[in-house]
Structure 1
Amino acid sequence: MLNRKAAPWIVTGMIVNAAAIWLLWIGRAPICTCGYVKLWHGQTVSSENSQHIADWYTPSHVIHGFLLYAGLWLIARRLPLAWRLSLATLIEAVWEIVENSDAIIERYRTVTIALDYYGDSVLNSVSDILAMMLGFFLASRLPLWTSLTLVIGFDLFTTWLIRDGLTLNVLMLVWPLQAVRDWQAAL
């Protein structure tokens, strides 16, 4: 018999594992094709970007956690926190699967400066899901003003440093602007 308190944690783990299995099944590389794993890869214009555990896009996944916590608090606050985390993990896992589909990879390559982007490694996708979970956990514990400061700060910092972040990523995916692409390419 499944323990009621353990159930959402087991489901969350199953979601992460299912996403990893799906990504392997569709042909994503388990780790960087360079043959090694790094904790941090800080070069954005590189074939190793989105291939290791963490990179400059990790903060955007932490932001996902803050945003998913807020959204689920608004629409499902009566649901226990652990089940809301399961839902957030499901949403993030679906995003990782969609983001690594051929259509979205090609979209990134067409409308952004990510010409050498061929999708995330499975390790990076799982790490991105875990980063979202960290953001979700922080949002559940921190005061609202601190959460907002972190969300805005992370996005502004990466935008300033690498000329990309969650806001620009979404903008360029949904409504690409040549001026933004030119500005990003000037780095």
Structure 2
Amino acid sequence: MTSLTVDQTPPSSTRFWLTIAFLIIAMQVIAQYMMGRIWICECGYVKLFEPGVNTAGNSQHLFDWYTPSHIIHGFLFYLLGWAVLRGKPLSMRLSLAAFIEAVWEILENSPIVIDRYRTATMAVGYTGDSILNSGMDMVSMIAGFFFAARAPVWLTVAIAILFEILTAFIIRDNLTLNVIMLIWPIEAVKVWQAAL
């Protein structure tokens, strides 16, 4: 089985929707700057990958153990776009995905969600993302979106499951657990995660 769609969009339409996606990403960066988010890690340097989870560098550098979650966002947002914008240009569906990811990135870095992470999840020292990390979360989502657009469905699903198992094993967290613990915290899961 192949991917869910093939795009045959005129170049002018593609440019328009890619411009919209770019503007959405720019608005994400501007909103976070206006919220007082820092550009890069307070440590003053940028790392390719931050291996620590409950460290000051988590969510501050280019990539971290939550990057697979954002790639899975791309898989899911591609599926959503395919379902609700069937027959529409891939670039239009990308704009929808970018909008959802940008809203999440802004919400995730709001004081109310940061406090919720600190009290309900394993992220006791979470202070929010740097603007750089948040932007790379968007890039990771876009990479996942385009992968899902081109790869066989079975491969996309297999990679999502692999990412979820891998991150659960390594850091005792993943997209599924993150959502569950944010919405409906389970004390046993919190205790298991804290034992890392």
TM-score, normalisation: structure 2: 0.93
CA-CA distance at 1:19 after TM superposition: 0.2
Which whole-Å deviations, capped at 9, do the CAs of 1:85-131 have from their partners, x for residues lacking one? 01100100000000001000000000112111010000000100110
Aligned length: 186
CA-CA distance at 1:50 after TM superposition: 0.2
* Alpha-carbon distance in 2 for matches of 1:185, 1:66: 29
Residue 59 of structure 1 corresponds to: 68
Aligned to 2:13, what secondary structure does the other structure show?
coil
Residue 28 of structure 2 corresponds to: 19
Q: Which of 80, 105, 108 is the aligned partner of 1:99?
A: 108
Gaps of 5+ in 2: 1-10
Contact kept, 8 Å, 2:14 with 2:89, in 1: the verdict is no
Residue 3 of structure 2 corresponds to: none
Pairing of 1:71-150 with structure 2 (within 5 A)? 71-150=80-159
Alpha carbon RMSD of aligned pairs, Å? 1.1
CA-CA distance at 1:158 after TM superposition: 0.3
CA-CA distance at 1:3 after TM superposition: 3.9
* Alpha-carbon distance in 2 for matches of 1:42, 1:10: 34
Code of the residue aligned with 2:107 in structure 1: it is V
Which whole-Å deviations, capped at 9, do the CAs of 1:21-69 have from their partners, x for residues lacking one? 1001001111101101111111111011000010000000000000010
Aligned to 1:173, what secondary structure does the other structure show?
helix
Would you say 1:7 and 2:55 are equivalent positions? Answer: no
* Alpha-carbon distance in 2 for matches of 1:162, 1:19: 28
Pairing of 1:19-58 with structure 2 (within 5 A)? 19-58=28-67
CA-CA distance at 1:83 after TM superposition: 0.7
Runs ≥4 residues deviating over 4 A: none
CA-CA distance at 1:4 after TM superposition: 3.2
